[in-house]
C-alpha cells in the first residue's frame, strides 16, 4: 500500500514537473503554427527579412519535434488503453468504433444552400470536387514578372567560359589515368602522353 501511495504522489509531481519544464504541447504547437503563418503572410506581402526566414526554419524544426512528442504520447495512451481494455468486446471498444464511424461519415453535401443526402448526388458532387481539384491546368498561378533575377555581367561570363591551357592541363593531370571522359575509348593516360599533339 505504501508503494501505491508513493506512486500516486509521484504521478502528481511528474505532472507538475512536465508542466513546468515542457509546458502544454498542444498550446505550443498552436503558437508555433500561428508564428509560421505570420511569417508566411510577410513573405506573400514581400516584406520578409532574412532573419524571419531563419526564424521560420527554426519554427518548422521545433514543430517537427513537437509532432514527434505528440505521436509518442498518442502511442503511449493507446498502449495504456489497450492494457486496460484489451481487444475484448467491451462498451469502450464499440463506442470508439462508433465515434470514429460517425466522425468519418459523410451525411450529405450542400448544393446551393440546400443539404442533399441522396447517395447518387453525394457521389457525383464528390467526383466533381476531386476532378476540379486535381485537373491539370496550363495556368499554374505563378507570376515571375516582378521578380528580379541576378544576372552575370559580360566580363563574368567570359571568365566562366574562358580557360587557359595551364588550367586545362592541371585538371587533366589530376584525373586518374585509366578513366575515360568520353565513350570514345581515349582515357587520361592517352591524353597525357599525347598532350603536345592534342592540347589545341
59: closest CA among 79, 75, 42, 39? 39
Q: What is the percentage of the chain residues whose pLDDT exceeds 90?
A: 0
Q: Are 155 and 166 in contact (CB under 8 A)?
A: no
CA atoms within 13 A on the CB side of 175: 17
Q: What are the grid coordinates assigned to 66, written together?
A: 513537437
Q: Which residue has the higher pLDDT, 85 or 114?
A: 114
Q: Are 178 and 189 in contact (CB under 8 A)?
A: yes
pLDDT of residue 184: 75
CA dihedral 128, 134, 139, 140 (to 10 degrees): 140
Q: Cα 45 vs. chain centroid, distance in angstroms? A: 23
Q: Helix 50-85 vs helix 25-45: angle between axes, to the nearest 10 degrees?
A: 150
Reported as a pLDDT band with limits 50, 70 and 90, residue 180 is: confident
pLDDT of residue 168: 87
Amino acid at each position: 500500500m505504501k508503494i501505491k501511495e508513493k506512486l500516486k504522489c509521484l504521478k502528481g509531481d511528474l505532472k507538475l514537473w512536465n508542466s513546468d519544464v515542457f509546458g502544454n504541447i498542444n498550446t505550443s504547437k498552436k503558437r508555433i503554427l500561428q508564428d509560421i503563418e505570420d511569417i508566411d503572410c510577410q513573405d506573400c506581402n514581400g516584406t520578409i527579412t532574412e532573419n524571419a526566414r531563419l526564424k521560420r526554419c527554426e519554427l518548422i524544426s521545433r514543430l517537427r519535434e513537437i509532432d514527434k512528442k505528440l505521436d509518442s504520447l498518442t502511442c503511449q495512451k493507446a498502449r495504456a488503453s489497450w492494457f486496460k481494455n484489451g481487444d475484448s468486446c467491451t462498451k469502450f471498444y464499440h463506442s470508439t468504433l462508433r465515434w470514429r464511424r460517425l466522425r468519418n461519415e459523410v451525411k450529405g453535401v450542400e448544393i446551393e444552400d440546400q443539404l442533399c443526402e441522396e447517395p447518387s448526388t453525394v457521389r457525383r458532387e464528390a467526383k466533381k470536387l476531386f476532378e476540379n481539384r486535381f485537373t491539370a491546368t496550363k495556368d499554374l498561378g505563378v507570376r515571375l514578372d516582378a521578380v528580379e533575377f541576378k544576372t552575370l555581367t559580360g566580363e563574368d561570363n567570359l571568365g566562366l567560359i574562358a580557360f587557359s591551357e595551364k588550367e586545362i592541363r592541371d585538371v587533366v593531370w589530376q584525373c586518374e589515368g585509366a578513366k575515360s571522359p568520353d565513350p570514345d575509348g581515349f582515357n587520361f593516360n592517352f591524353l597525357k602522353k599525347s598532350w603536345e599533339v592534342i592540347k589545341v
